[in-house]
Amino acid sequence: MCTGACSKFIAIPLYVMAAVSIICNIMLFFPDFKTTYASEDGKETPRITQEVKYMAGLIGGGVIVLIPAIHIHLTSTKSCCANRCGMFLSIGFAALGAVGAVYSLSVAALGLSNGPTCLWSNILHPIPEWGTPFNNTGGSYLSDKDQWTWCILPKNVVEFNVGLFSTLLVAACVELVFCLIQMINGLFGCICGTCGKE
């Protein structure tokens, strides 16, 4: 496979993963698929999980990866970027995408570790209040589904957050791998050319 064709193979999954990251981050603002919690957030106490507000999926795994994906895709077409210089630039763009993916991955992992913000109570804490009940558990709540019942509102917020943050984590890992592959591909393309004329 020539380096130009490889770039196209890399760009398409990056588009998909960037779109998945953006959608997941936006959905995380609406636990239980309601706008109530986002509109009430910060008035008295937080209603939205803190890691969601870092916008890692929207900015890191989304926009910051989308820009390199566009340039990487252009190196595979008969355009101004399908040359050694374009492939050299794709190394820098892929590095930028890798930084965005690492940011998204880090925040998603932190979001999974700390757990969601919710109205919660348990036997030791009988009075319901808004907070992050799993913040100091080191992610142990993930394997103990009995603790998930601590969250009263939003309904099923633990499943909601775990599902979306896990998706963000996987998407960021895929983005990181493809950006690293493109850095190697860009180096070969810079040295050998894109073989687009063959």
Read out DSSP for 106-140? Answer: HHHHHHHHH---EEE--SSS-S-EEE-TTTTTTTG
Q: What is the pLDDT of residue 198?
A: 45
Tabulate helix, strand, coil % of the chain (nearest 5). 70, 5, 25
Strands 118-120 and 129-131: what pairing?
Answer: antiparallel
d(CA 107, CA 98): 14
Residue 107 has pLDDT above 90, yes or no: yes
Question: What are 134's two structure tokens?
Answer: 């799993």
Is residue 91 a contact partner of residue 190, using CB atoms and an 8 Å limit? yes
Q: How far apart are CA 67 and CA 177, in angstroms?
A: 16
Least reliable range by pLDDT among 17-21, 116-120, 141-145, 187-191: 187-191
Q: What is the CA radius of gyration of the chain?
A: 21
Most confidently modeled range among 38-47, 78-87, 117-126: 117-126
Of 22-26, 93-97, 191-195, where does mean pLDDT reach its minimum?
191-195
Check if the beta carbon of residue 189 is closer than 8 Å to that of residue 1. Answer: no
Can you tell me the distance from the alpha carbon of 171 to that of 15, in angstroms, rounded to the nearest whole number? 11
**pLDDT value for 147:** 85
User: Would you say residue 3 has pLDDT above 70?
Assistant: no
Band of residue 43 on the pLDDT scale cut at 50, 70, 90: low
- pTM equals 0.86
Residue 69 CA to residue 1 CA, distance in Å, equals: 19
Judged by DSSP in three states, 152 sits in: strand
Residue 66, pLDDT above cutoff 90: yes
137-164 confidence digits (pLDDT tens):
777 888 888 888 888 888 889 999 999 9
Q: Name the most confidently modeled range: 61-75, 100-114, 126-140.
A: 100-114
| 177 vs 140, residue with greater confidence | 177
pLDDT digits (tens, 9 = 90+) for 6-16: 777 888 999 99
**Percent with pLDDT over 90 in the chain:** 38
Structure tokens at 22: 């953006």
Instruction: Locate 177 and state its tokens.
Output: 């791998």
Residue 93 identity = F
Is 25 a residue whose pLDDT tops 60?
yes
